[in-house]
Structure 1
Amino acid sequence: MINIVLFGPPGSGKGTQAQHLIEKFNLKQISTGDLFRYNMKNDTELGKLAKSYIDKGELVPDQVTIDMLIDELKKPTETNGFIFDGFPRTATQTDALENIVKEELNTDISICLSLVVEDEVLVQRLLKRGETSGRTDDSNEEIIRNRIKEYYTKTAEVAELYKQQGKYVEVNGIGEISEISNKLFAEVEKIQK
């Protein structure tokens, strides 16, 4: 089983590359953003709980996110593993994910793939995306820079933990999409041997 933690700042191409990894290795992507939207839209108990925090402008506690993740992993699926996107973001969440994967899937996180792109390139990509996506957070340079800064601040400790485990790999996220995909594929294939 292949379990990938996929990192990349906003605009790094993470969404595109996740799709290529899914197709190549028959993986299922678990995005915490998607889990929140699904649970709130379907009015699940966890969705109602998450919404109660969000409506007050508070962060949803880790345990609510973790419970959503466990529910998702328990669903039957015919895949070769998972891509975790948007989780973990802290050392505490990293430990939680390690435990969940061990308990629910009887395996480990295989690798943490991190797409690396210079900040200026990210800003230009997001501004360009903002012209067509309609996303307001992609059309304001100040907000974009803040999102990028926040990403690095939040993920630094998680990257460090995976580095200590020898599971952290940085891949240059600039170039042709297929070239970047092939670099990611090569890293995953190394761990399969």
Structure 2
Amino acid sequence: MRLIFLGPPGAGKGTQAKLLTEKYGIPQLSTGDMLRAAVAAGTDVGKRAKAVMDAGQLVSDAIVNEIVSDRIDSPDCARGFILDGYPRTVPQAEALDQILAGKGIALDAVVELKVDEDALVRRMENRVAETIAAGGTVRSDDNPEAFKRRLTEYREKTAPLSNYYASTGKLQTVDGMANVDKVTAEIAGILENA
């Protein structure tokens, strides 16, 4: 099973990916984790990524695509994988299509968690209030203004992937505002039909 999760920050992609990795024994691949692993392993592409990051710059699509390609070749991905946070743009999606075609594999589904952004902001505000009330530490980017910026960035850069994957017939949408179990059941239905 090879799939991509789409949806804005806070939509529940990570929660659903975790449930699927436990159920199917396939890894969840996040760009940040893959970059850190490549740097730590000292691979050629990891060294290039480290040089860029050490210079305070953003890692190019070409490097990210190469890291994803290498990671997909890992033995734990033989039965499948879940991409979460990649691709972020249509050019990355096009590159992923080429990478997968070159490996003779295809995506089974692209699952988009549709959510109400205002409700997400309220959820985040409640989570912050609960964390503070419990004496916990709130992440620096866990505030309404930072969250709204992340939502805007998602809308501008990543939301166009919906149209891209709809045109391929791979896009399936799920109501991300439903409770976790209902979302999980809807995704399971999609995967059975994929």
Q: TM-score range by the shorter chain?
A: 0.7 to 0.9
Structure 1's 125 and 40: CA in aligned 2 closer, same or farther, altered over 3 A? farther
The 5 A counterparts of 1:104-115 are: 104=103, 106-115=104-113
| Residues 37, 127 of structure 1: alpha-carbon distance in 2 compared, 3 angstrom cutoff | farther
Partner of 2:52 in structure 1?
53
Q: How does 1:104-183 map to 2 (within 5 A)?
A: 104=103, 106-130=104-128, 131=131, 132=136, 134-138=138-142, 140-183=143-186
Secondary structure, in 3 states, of the residue corresponding to 2:76? coil
Give the corresponding residue for 1:25.
Answer: 24
Task: State the distance in 2 between where 1:20 and 1:89 align.
Answer: 22
Task: Give the structure 1 partner of residue 73 of structure 2.
Answer: 74
Aligned to 1:44: 43
Counterpart of 2:58 in structure 1: which amino acid? L
1:52: Cα distance to partner?
A: 2.5
Query: Which residue matches 2:97?
Result: 98
Is the Cα–Cα contact under 8 Å of residues 26 and 79 in structure 1 kept in the other structure?
no
Query: Are the structure 2 counterparts of residues 78 and 145 from structure 1 closer, same or farther at C-alpha, using a change threshold of 3 Å?
Result: closer
Assess, with a 3 A threshold, how the Cα gap between structure 1 residues 128 and 44 changes in structure 2: closer, same or farther: farther
3-state SS of the aligned residue for 2:75? coil
The match for 1:85 is 84
Q: Check the 8 A contact 2:26/2:76 in 1, yes or no.
A: no
3-state DSSP class of the match of 2:159? helix
| Amino acid paired to 2:9 | P
1:65-123 Cα shifts (integer Å, max 9, x gaps): 1111121112212753111111111221111111112222x221121101111112211
SS at match of 2:177: coil
| TM value normalised by structure 2 | 0.88
CA distance in 2, matches of 1:23, 1:118: 28
The separation in 1 between residues aligned to 2:114 and 2:154, in whole angstroms, is 12
- 1:133 Cα deviation from its structure 2 partner: 6.0
Aligned length: 188
Change (3 A) 1:92 1:86: same
| Inter-partner Cα distance in structure 1 for 2:137 and 2:115 | 21
Moved more, 144-153 or 116-125: 116-125
Q: TM-score, normalised by structure 1?
A: 0.88
Which structure 2 segments of 5+ residues have no match?
A: none
Unaligned runs of 5+ in 1: none
Overall identity of the aligned pairs, in % = 35
Residue in 2 aligned with 1:34? 33
- C-alpha separation in 1, matches of 2:10 and 2:74: 30
Aligned with 1:135: secondary structure?
coil
